[in-house]
């Protein structure tokens, strides 16, 4: 009844043709790989006037350098979605009544991170604002120090845990695949299935998808079977640093001692992958807590990992098995200052 009265009022006393809109200030948004996030976009129309939602047009674009990618356009119940956001984005079905044009995004990928612009057009009015999105989390392949395919399911879960990560879910592996992850090694996942991601199909990596790109699956497996594992790490829980005083190359034991001198611990693979994801770039192999040697590349250079991005792992044998001997010496030592437990330093909002 109230609404009808409002409409009647407007028929008798039409609102001024100029409708005012106000956009609330947006805060940055953050989500995890394969998770979901809401990119906020709230508006209000003043004075309150009777309008039909066909007059309202919502457009979300992603700003990629000078390029603009259409994410979603919604008007009068018709929604169009850009190719790479298909089945992953939505806006409220009655945005006008709630003044809400926020974008819900699911199955997040690392490549979704960046700057987004929300545009709300209402009649002749047009208002817009930008919001930035961070996506944390990385999936990585993990092989035990003995050989290929040696982990049963309980050992796979434990292997990830012991390097400060968790066993990845199929959804996380799929999101990583969409970002370009390619690894021709079957690995356990959290649902006790065994899969591997292939972006560049090639002989020996056909799996159940033959020559199509995609995540190959062996289905759910008996927990006593043995494979490698895919681990997931969300955020770095501390600060990784390289002691500047270190002059000589060191053994695994000495690397541990070097970090202890700084009240820190030798970084684990999980922490190194998280640090890589946050932008860490080093060109020399270094010891990690599990006895593996790796380095993180975020700035491509031919002499550092052949111009490819990612974390390089040094295996003892050409067939990509075995960790180096712990008496071998490497020059770079990544130490971690763990975050103090029990103190929440994130801003309260």
Ligand X SMILES: *[C@@H]1O[C@H](CO)[C@@H](O)[C@H](O)[C@H]1NC(C)=O
Which residues of this protein are in contact with ligand X, per CB under 6 A? 28, 30, 134, 145, 147-148, 278, 291, 317, 319, 321, 323
Of the pair 55, 337, the CB lying nearest ligand X is at 337
DSSP class per residue in 145-157: SS-SS-B-HHHHH
Cα(345)–Cα(349) distance, rounded to whole angstroms? Answer: 12
Do residues 43 and 99 lie in contact, with contact meaning Cβ atoms separated by under 8 Å?
yes
Q: Angle at Cα 81 formed by Cα 79 and Cα 86, nearest 5°?
A: 125
Smallest distance from ligand X to CB 302, Å: 26
Of the pair 228, 258, the CB lying nearest ligand X is at 228
Cα(192)–Cα(190) distance, rounded to whole angstroms? Answer: 5
Of the pair 75, 298, the CB lying nearest ligand X is at 298
Smallest distance from ligand X to CB 95, Å: 24
Characterize 69-99 residue by residue with b for buried, 16 or more Cβ atoms within 10 angstroms of its Cβ, and e for exposed. eebbbbeeeeeebbeebeebbbbbeebbeeb
Smallest distance from ligand X to CB 273, Å: 15
Cα(192)–Cα(164) distance, rounded to whole angstroms? Answer: 20
Of the pair 13, 317, the CB lying nearest ligand X is at 317
Q: Give me the sign of the Cα torsion angle 217, 223, 225, 228.
A: positive
Smallest distance from ligand X to CB 324, Å: 9
Chain CA centroid to CA 244, Å: 31
Smallest distance from ligand X to CB 279, Å: 7
Smallest distance from ligand X to CB 141, Å: 15
Of the pair 287, 295, the CB lying nearest ligand X is at 287
Of the pair 303, 319, the CB lying nearest ligand X is at 319
Contacts for 47 with CB less than 8 Å, ≥ 6 apart: 15, 16, 20
């Amino acid at each position: 009844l109230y609404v009808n009265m409002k409409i009647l009022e407007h028929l008798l006393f039409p609102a001024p043709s100029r409708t005012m809109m106000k956009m609330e200030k947006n805060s940055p948004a953050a989500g995890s790989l394969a998770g979901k996030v809401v990119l906020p976009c709230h508006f209000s129309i003043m004075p309150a006037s009777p309008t039909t939602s066909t007059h309202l047009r919502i457009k979300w674009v992603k700003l990629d350098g000078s390029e603009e990618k259409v994410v979603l356009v919604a008007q009068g119940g018709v929604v169009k979605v850009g190719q790479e956001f298909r089945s992953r984005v939505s806006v409220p079905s009655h945005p006008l009544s709630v003044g809400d044009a926020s974008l819900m995004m699911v199955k997040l990928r690392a490549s979704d991170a960046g700057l987004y612009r929300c545009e709300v057009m209402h009649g002749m009015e047009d208002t817009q604002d930008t919001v930035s999105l961070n996506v944390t989390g990385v999936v990585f392949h993990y092989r035990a120090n003995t050989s290929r395919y040696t982990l049963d399911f309980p050992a796979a879960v434990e292997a990830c845990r012991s390097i400060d990560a968790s066993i990845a879910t199929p959804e996380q592996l799929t999101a990583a695949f969409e970002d370009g992850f390619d690894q021709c090694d079957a690995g356990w996942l959290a649902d006790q299935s065994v899969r591997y991601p292939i972006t560049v199909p090639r002989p020996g990596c056909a799996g159940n998808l033959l020559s199509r790109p995609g995540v190959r699956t062996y289905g759910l497996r008996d927990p006593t079977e043995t494979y490698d594992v895919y681990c997931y790490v969300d955020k770095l829980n501390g600060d990784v640093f390289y002691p500047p005083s270190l002059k000589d190359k060191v053994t695994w034991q000495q690397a541990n001692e070097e970090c202890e001198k700084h009240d820190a611990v030798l970084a684990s693979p999980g922490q190194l992958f998280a640090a890589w994801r946050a932008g860490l770039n080093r060109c020399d192999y270094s010891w990690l807590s599990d006895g593996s040697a790796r380095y993180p590349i975020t700035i491509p250079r031919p002499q550092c990992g052949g111009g490819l991005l990612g974390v390089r792992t040094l295996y003892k044998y050409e067939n990509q098995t075995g960790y180096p001997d712990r008496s071998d010496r490497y020059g770079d030592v990544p130490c971690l200052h763990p975050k103090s437990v029990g103190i929440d330093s994130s801003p309260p909002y």
